[in-house]
Chain A
Amino acid sequence: MKTNTTIFSVLFLLTLVFSFMQKDIQVFASEVPSITSNYEMVPGESTNARISLENMDTVPHTYTLNFGQLPEGFNGYFSLDGKVINSITISASQKNLINFFIDVPLNTSATNMSIPLEIIRDDGVKESLSVSFTLNPNYALSISSSIQSIKAINGDSIMLEIGVTNTGNKDLTDLSLQVDPPYKWIVENVDPTNLTLKPGENSLYKLKVTIPTSGQAGQYPINISCTNSDVTSNSISIPVNVSTSVNYFWWITGIIGVLLIFTILYFKKHGRR
């Protein structure tokens, strides 16, 4: 009976110690929630690794998110609900799904890379994990324009020429130009509407954009990219410097001039008083 009591006491103590150890070690856990933690990168696009972060403690904690050095030209950031974050606060026994984005440059020599991630809790406890990325060189698209900026008058139409090159290893079909003009500007036509490019092949898009007559003077960007179901190109921004038609100036100064002459004549007729 005594032996049983002793064994039970030891087991109880061990359980207690183990449960405390468990709490200390697994205070939080992070994982990449997919079958594999290897993600595919497409040149010129963003790749998203989703990371599940769970607060296994009984009190809320703030976690600082860090990632290791990225190859040149790459850009990385953490995001939650569309907002870039560097840290996150998670309530007790709750979990959050964080996005780790990698912006891949168009021309990169990196084919495989492993990015170490480090998550530091506010009390100094750290957890590390690694996410691998592999480059898919099949689909890559690049666009360019020789136009640095355009000067135009409100009410005018401007013509733009956009060069597009298939820099990947596979054919790209149904390519279309995505034009994001300033508010109320009108994209009159894009020629050609759809395009197919073989690897290494390039072509030219021509488009006409009309500035509304009510458009205010200022500098406005036209953002352009090219896309199909497989790939999206880099985005280029062409600044358009809009000025007001000089006709308004001549009308206003003309009215003032006429009134000035009329005033002088009026004074000449009636004399100073």
Chain B
Amino acid sequence: MSPMLVVIKKEITDALKNKLFLIILGMLLLLTIVSVVLGSYQVKVSLDSYNQSISFLKSLGKTNFPAAPNLNPLSSSKSFVNYIGLLGALLAMVLGNASVVKEKRSGTLKLILSRQIFRDTFLNGKVIGNMILLFAITFVTSIITLVSVVVISSAPISSGDIVRMFLFFLMSFLYMTFFLVLGIFLAVLIPNGNKALLITVIIWLVISFILPQIGDTMDMDNQLPGGFFSSMGMNKADTQKVLDHFKFYETTRDGIEQMSPTKHYERVGFALLNIKPGFEQNTALEVLSIKWIDVLGLLAPSIILWLLAYMVFLKRENIYQE
């Protein structure tokens, strides 16, 4: 067995013994099941209500029936976006940090690296092993979601919907991978494991909550409940005149939002799940091609951090100390 495979296997085995990881995973799965079941039940209630209306109209001899409501069975995964944003990210950060810190604390890092294992191979094994875990979690969750939607909601689900759902879970996987790599990078960079975890959490808070919040808060129309322009009694033409004078401000605001992988995950996720209107007629791949900037916004930071982790890990002399 190649050294990298040994590290991968060890990583998966270790994670399944990590109590903190198991607790967060349990919470994530529980919340996912509850939200998906409730979401699917809501779709079922809407479908039943519509079918009852049709039966009633038929009994009155009507032939013109109202159009079916937009049931969108994919919307049952809407809450999942928030859970991945919170617990999924936390799970990935814990995995990333623990994968390096546990080896330092137990003294096994020195032992492993004294064997015929290069530092880059070791790091690859760590990242790939944890990515396999995250992929397995998202895959299991996607299967639970799909089964719940089909069994509970009874809503018609097309092959296109299934592809959209799996691609959405792939985006969730990429989002968690970013936090995994961030956790590993900071654990390699900062000698103190606890400090590394603390800084990882702080960065997560900044990019997941503060940056999107700044973007939202800076939006002029969000300054008053019900919309600033509407509250000021401004019509669309006047609103546009005002916005026209704030082009730079708007670009800055958007730039801050673009720095947040959470925002990118939300944008591509909501488009795939049809929660954001305007993507109903597109295929899943078309949605990804339209939202490529958001996919890139999830991928690029992970790649950059991975490369930086290589360089830091290669040169660190005090890697065994904490």
Residues of A within 8 A of B (CB): 64, 66, 86, 180-181, 183-187, 212-214, 216-220, 241, 243-244, 248-249, 252, 255-256, 259-260, 262-263, 266-267, 270, 272-273
Contacts and interface: CB of A to CB of B under 8 A. Distances in A.
Interface of B: 53, 60, 62, 113, 118-120, 221, 236-237, 240, 243-244, 247, 250-251, 253-254, 267, 271, 276, 278-279, 281-282, 290-293, 296, 300, 303-304, 307-308, 310-311, 314-315
Given A64-B60, A217-B293, A263 B281 contact: no
A214 B251 contact: yes
B247 A241 contact: no
Contacts of A263: 307, 310-311
A272 B243 contact: no
Closest 4 CB pairs of A and B: A214-B254, A244-B293, A219-B278, A272-B118
B293 A213 contact: no
Nearest to A210: B244
Interface SS, A side: mixed
A184 B243 contact: yes
A217 B291 contact: yes
Given A187-B240, A272-B120, A216 B267 contact: yes
A218 B276 contact: yes
Contact of B307 (A214, A219, A260, A270): A260
Contacts of A86: 53
Given A185-B240, A212-B247, A263-B307, 5 more contacts: A212-B243, A213-B247, A219-B278, A266-B311, A272-B120
Nearest to A272: B118
Contacts of A212: 243, 247, 250
A266 to B, nearest CB: 5
A18 to B, nearest CB: 34
Contacts of B278: 218-220
A272 B119 contact: yes
Nearest to A240: B278
B279 A218 contact: yes
A214 B237 CA distance: 19
Nearest to A263: B307
A212 B168 CA distance: 27
